[in-house]
Structure 1
Amino acid sequence: MSSSEFSNSTKVLIETLSAIEHQRWSHWQSYLHSKCEKNDDGSLTIPKDLVEKWNKQIETNYSDLTEKEKKSDREQVMKYLHYILEFKK
């Protein structure tokens, strides 16, 4: 589906949500980089314990996450939920 098929309000919502997604991704990348070992060649090495933790989370359905992990996901959703609710009006 091309962007020309959307209404102007939908295009605005897409751009708003895309900006939020980029901000979320940038924040995550900054966090990830801060936890990594910086190698002489400029690459990064993720510590083994974090790889294991994040692989476990990747493989876990939302319903099976800990309450702390679910809360973290909900906090992310709250950053953009009001845009979606406003769009539905």
Structure 2
Amino acid sequence: MDTEEISSRLEAAVEKLAAMEHERWAHWQRYVHSVGEWQSDGSLVIAPDLVARWERQIATPYANLTEAERESDREQVRRYLPVLKAALAR
């Protein structure tokens, strides 16, 4: 398989991967909303300890995350592998 064919197959997988990414994002947002406290004006307040943890993770390069945090990221990436494998196996 040449580079052009690989590129073509991967591009065809983009829509499936984009749908998966949207579901991943929606799942995360459901979680964030579930741990927050809804206010009467419709805003959402998130506990300071969660905000502090997420801010630390945002500011931390992947290589400096804890092993558990890196494994969580790996778990998310592994969900994409079947789509990529299928795209390359055709």
1:17-63, CA deviations, whole angstroms, 9 ceiling, x for partnerless residues?
Answer: 00000000000000000011110111101111111000000000111
Q: Give 4+ residue runs of structure 1 displaced > 4 Å after superposition.
A: none
| Structure 1 residue 12 displacement after superposition | 3.2
Higher relative contact order (CA 8 A, sep 6+): 2
Q: Give unmatched runs, 5+ long, in structure 2.
A: 1-6
2:36 maps to: 36
Q: Give unmatched runs, 5+ long, in structure 1.
A: 1-5
Structure 2: distance between partners of 1:76 and 1:55: 20
Provide the aligned C-alpha RMSD in A: 1.6
Q: Which residue identity is paired with 2:79?
A: K
TM-score (normalizing by structure 1): 0.83
After TM superposition, the structure 1 = structure 2 runs for residues 1-89 of structure 1, keeping only pairs within 5 Å, are 7=8, 9-89=9-89
Count matched residues.
Answer: 83
Select between 78-87 and 38-47 the one with higher mean Cα deviation.
78-87
Percent identity of paired positions between Structure 1 and Structure 2 = 48
Structure 2: distance between partners of 1:86 and 1:34: 35
Q: Which residue identity is paired with 1:49?
A: D
TM-score (normalizing by structure 2): 0.83
Structure 2: distance between partners of 1:40 and 1:11: 45
Other structure's SS at 1:23 match? helix
1:3 maps to: none
